[in-house]
């Protein structure tokens, strides 16, 4: 019987949920290519995301992001690590779901905040999303986005376990999607 799994596996979730780390390991195991949409946007724009936000505002960034999501989802055999806010546009979500199996990586707010703080590149390259300080911003933005993540995802995977366990859970969900 032919493999009827979606042609791509898509990882969504808040900053620090492990999309890139899990994505790299999942891609290796599947023999897929890892595509990080934020990295593509930065490469295309020739500037960090924070600078795009400064110069074009969030709406300009989201427009760039939607174009990249569409382009990425035209391919196949990919694990696509989406930016945390990619679920904010309905057209992007529709594109992800049409050509991919969407996995929402979840973790408690406190763990997300610790991971964000441990990533030196985050502070330098990612814009503040609200005027709230640190963990309060994570709480507020995560609360606002949770319904969007839930609606976009085919499945939710707890990303608090050891990497291999999270990877196994993602692969099991993807394998059962056929």
- Quote the tokens at residue 17: 């949920």
Higher pLDDT, 177 or 151: 151
Mean pLDDT, residues 113-136 taken together = 77
Task: Calculate the average pLDDT of the chain.
Answer: 92
**DSSP labels, 141-156:** HHHHHHHHHHHH-SEE
Class of domain 8-175: alpha beta
pTM recorded for the entire structure: 0.93
User: Residue 88 has what DSSP assignment?
Assistant: G
| CA–CA separation, 170 and 52 (whole Å) | 32
56-70, 85-99, 111-125 — which is least confidently predicted?
Answer: 111-125
| CA–CA separation, 124 and 166 (whole Å) | 28
- Strand-pair category, 33-36 with 155-158: unpaired
At 24-50, the pLDDT tens digits run 999 999 999 999 999 999 999 999 999
Mean pLDDT, residues 99-111 taken together = 96
């Amino acid at each position: 019987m032919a493999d009827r799994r979606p042609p791509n596996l898509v990882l969504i979730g808040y900053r620090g949920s492990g999309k890139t780390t899990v994505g790299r390991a999942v891609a290796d195991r599947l023999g897929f290519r890892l595509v990080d949409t934020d990295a593509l946007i930065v490469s295309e724009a020739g500037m960090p995301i924070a600078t795009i936000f400064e110069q074009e505002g969030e709406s300009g960034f989201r427009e760039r992001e939607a174009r990249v999501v569409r382009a990425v989802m035209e391919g196949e055999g990919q694990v696509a690590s989406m930016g945390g806010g990619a679920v904010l546009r309905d057209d992007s979500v529709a594109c992800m779901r049409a050509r991919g199996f969407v996995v929402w990586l979840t973790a408690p707010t406190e763990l997300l905040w610790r991971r964000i703080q441990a990533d030196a590149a985050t502070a330098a390259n990612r814009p503040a999303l609200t005027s709230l300080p640190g963990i309060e911003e994570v709480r507020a933005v995560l609360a606002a986005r949770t319904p969007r993540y839930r609606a976009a995802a085919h499945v939710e995977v707890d990303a608090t376990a050891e990497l291999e366990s999270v990877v196994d859970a993602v692969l099991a969900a993807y394998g059962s999607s056929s």
